[in-house]
Amino acid sequence: MNRSFFAQSPSVLVFLGCLGLATLFVTVLSEAFGIGVLSTSFIKTLGKTLCLCLIAVAMDLVWGYAGILSLGHFAFFGLGGYMIGMWLMYERTREIVESSMSDAVIPPTPQEISDAIGNQIFGVVGSSEFPLIWTFADSLTIQLFLVVAIPGVLAGLFGWLAFRSRVTGVYLSILTQAMTLALSLYLFQNESGLRGNNGLSGLQNLPGVEAGQDVVSMWFFWASALALGLGYLLAARVISGKFGSVIRGIRDNEQRVRFLGYAVESYKLVIFAGTAMIAGIAGALYYPQAGIVNPAEIAPIASIYLAVWVAIGGRGRLYGAVLGAIFVSLVSSYFTGGQAPDINLGFYTIKWVDWWLVMLGISFVLVTLFAPKGLGGLVDLWEDRRRPDRHGADLGPDAGALREKEAVE
Amino acid sequence: MTTLLEVSGVSVSFDGFRAINNLSFQIGPAELRAIIGPNGAGKTTFMDIITGKTRPDEGRVIWGDLSRSLLSMSEAQIAQAGVGRKFQKPTVFEDQSVEENLLMALSNPRGPLAVLFYKPAKADLARVAELADEIGLRAQLFRKAGELSHGQKQWLEIGMLLAQDPKLLLVDEPAAGMTPEEREHTTQLLVEAAKTRAVVVVEHDMEFIRRLGCRVTVLHEGSVLAEGSLDHVTSNQDVIDVYLGR
């Protein structure tokens, strides 16, 4: 039996191949580097979708493989966006301030420059002082480090408290929602130091870069594709070996894993904090493409969406999460972007902007009830893999355990 | 005689119900012991206390040469110290192959980092193959455990226990749902295992216990009623009254 990594997980090569081809295809069709069929805003949508795929992969690791239904991972995504956003906004504002002040007869002192930047950034919340958390905003290296460190530390702290008290199942999900809500409410305050409900804006402008948005959008598209490829590879590596065995064991029957001598709480903590860091990276790539990050992005509903993507794509298989994220977010932007034609029934006009959420909710319920394998199940049909007949028995006693209908032979 | 595990004066109540009442028990490092008792005698709770799942209200549980107390250790630490447990209902990881189940049980470092960078060594794979032979699952090595028959799952779980290489094996009704030949095989395995380690078997089936040919401890209402050879305890009037007589 061939024990090499790619022989064990053949889907990784297929996935990386598809990702590479898609990247090439989009590049050829782009305005900046190709024949210009795809608009810059569409490139940005695609790039953002790749970031959403990356966080979906993280969600699949934590929910599909370790059985922890976290409804808070989008908070880590948002925090990653805030961390990179601070640097982008500071540097960009500094450039503008310095160039406007350079015309002055007397050269401005560093203090004057700093005050002017502060005034520019925090004027909207009635302040001009730099809060303490902006201490390192002028250093790209430190802010990049914080992109992974802040989500990692927050998730580590939260996970340590929750897991050591043996909080599991729906109670843990509720706790993660509470954490997300608390964070979002905190950021909504002007005193939080991150511009309250205005959030950080103008993130699409890279400081010190002359190139236009058509080129910058491609850079971010490539970076997102690279991050997704590496993240997918990392996730596939993590789940392929004994570590994967242990976390799937924790998903299906954590008590049994304990009696084998594995410290279940440490494993949960590693996977929870690790995926939070991946989410942070995904967010740091997403928000410069979106241009703005504000507390509404961190709202609990966003994290629930994330679970919906993974459920619709099929949890417990990495490509399922990616399929779910691509499918739902692209369809969602089609329906909510006003492109879908309204349906006039005579007595009532169906406006998709209003009805899309209802449709998404219904399809989530239908998928969970009738096709728990989600879109990933189509691959099983194609590969002719059947699901076992277990007479209704799930694959383990725990709440997050793989269900009979999710299993494959 | 040296003692591997010493349980003394242990009591535990659930909502006022005394599941274990001032129980004391000892077992040596290479000894086979059967525990019998009617339903509700506290057999499972007894195992829960040793493996750390349930904390007793009072009493001591002392382990090994260094006389460490198991009461201050987590389930995982107790398992790492060398206590292996087989459940009544076969509990294997159904979504994973027989090989994955065995590799997970194999006594290797258990920390997340060590496990993340673990690559099965030749010796590990050889040990897995050897165990698979012993439990008759060599041909099923790459099948998912969930597809195995009830008896095969029992075997797999026994195999996982052996892979853990524990100093003390706690086995809950190993022969349940097995054919006579399989029972014979199980008996041999347990007797063989008890030559190098302590084995505690909880069983209802008197015939099975007779074949094990070991000391028997009778539990009743959470404490030890009688202890000795099977013939000795079955002729004890108290035992006949509470258990065998019914």
In a domain, A243, yes or no: yes
Q: CB–CB of A245 and B96 under 8 A? A: yes
Q: Which residue has the tokens 């989410």?
A: A279
Cα(B215)–Cα(B213) distance, rounded to whole angstroms? 7
From A387-401, B7-21, B215-229, the region with the lowest mean pLDDT: A387-401
Asked if residue A54 has pLDDT above 70, the reply is: yes
- For residues B151 and B76, the model is more confident at B76
Cα(A250)–Cα(A394) distance, rounded to whole angstroms? 14
> In chain B, how many H helices and how many E strands?
10, 10
Cα(A336)–Cα(A357) distance, rounded to whole angstroms? 9
Q: CB–CB of B94 and A252 under 8 A? A: yes
In the prediction, which pLDDT does A397 show? 81
End-to-end CA distance of chain A: 18
| Percentage of the residues of chain B whose pLDDT score is greater than 90 | 53
Q: CB–CB of B91 and A256 under 8 A? A: yes
In the prediction, which pLDDT does A322 show? 95
Q: How close A395 comes to chain B (CA, Å)?
A: 6
Cross-strand partners of B223: B220
Alpha helices per DSSP H over A189-263: 213-240, 242-259
In a domain, A34, yes or no: yes
Which tokens sit at B234?
A: 């079955």
- For residues A362 and A404, the model is more confident at A362
Q: Residue A144's pLDDT band (boundaries 50, 70, 90)?
A: very high
Asked if residue B245 has pLDDT above 60, the reply is: no
- Whether the CB of B122 is below 8 Å from some CB of chain A: the reply is no
Q: Residue A211's pLDDT band (boundaries 50, 70, 90)?
A: confident
- For residues A56 and A364, the model is more confident at A56
In a domain, A17, yes or no: yes
Q: Which domain holds residue A176?
A: 11-297
Chain A residues contacting B via beta carbons under 8 Å: 1, 3, 238, 241-243, 245-246, 248-249, 252-253, 255-256, 258-264, 266-267, 270, 388, 390, 395-396, 402, 407, 409
Asked if residue B246 has pLDDT above 60, the reply is: no
Instruction: Tell me the chain A residues in contact with residue B111 when contact means C-beta distances shorter than 8 Å.
Output: 263, 266
- Whether the CB of B100 is below 8 Å from some CB of chain A: the reply is yes
- For residues B175 and B146, the model is more confident at B146
What ipTM was assigned to the predicted interfaces of this complex?
0.89
In a domain, A23, yes or no: yes
Asked if residue B177 has pLDDT above 80, the reply is: no
Q: In this predicted model, what pLDDT tens digit does every residue of B70-121 receive, in sequence order?
A: 999 999 999 999 999 988 888 899 999 999 999 999 989 999 999 999 988 8
- Which domains does chain B show, CATH number per domain? 5-244 (3.40.50.300)
In the prediction, which pLDDT does B115 show? 92
Nearest chain A residue to B148 by CA distance is: A390
Asked if residue A48 has pLDDT above 90, the reply is: yes
In a domain, A338, yes or no: no
Instruction: Tell me the chain A residues in contact with residue B79 when contact means C-beta distances shorter than 8 Å.
Output: 258-261
Q: CB–CB of B79 and A395 under 8 A? A: no
Q: CB–CB of B104 and A246 under 8 A? A: yes
Asked if residue B132 has pLDDT above 80, the reply is: yes
Asked if residue A303 has pLDDT above 90, the reply is: yes
- Whether the CB of B80 is below 8 Å from some CB of chain A: the reply is yes
Nearest chain B residue to A270 by CA distance is: B112
Q: How many domains does chain A have?
A: 1
Which one, of B75, B209, B88, B86, lies nearest residue B159 by Cα? Answer: B86
End-to-end CA distance of chain B: 36
- Whether the CB of B146 is below 8 Å from some CB of chain A: the reply is yes
Q: B55: which residues sit within 8 A by CB, 6+ positions away? A: B12, B49, B71
Q: CB–CB of A261 and B79 under 8 A? A: yes
Single-letter code of the amino acid located at A283: G
Per-residue CA distances from A407 to A6, A15, A249 (Å): 22, 21, 14
- For residues A340 and B246, the model is more confident at A340
In a domain, A153, yes or no: yes
Q: Using an 8 Å Cβ cutoff, are B76 and A264 in contact?
A: yes
Instruction: Tell me the chain B residues in contact with residue A165 when contact means C-beta distances shorter than 8 Å.
Output: none
Asked if residue A172 has pLDDT above 80, the reply is: yes
Instruction: Tell me the chain A residues in contact with residue B96 when contact means C-beta distances shorter than 8 Å.
Output: 245, 248-249
In the prediction, which pLDDT does B105 show? 94
| Mean of pLDDT over chain A | 91
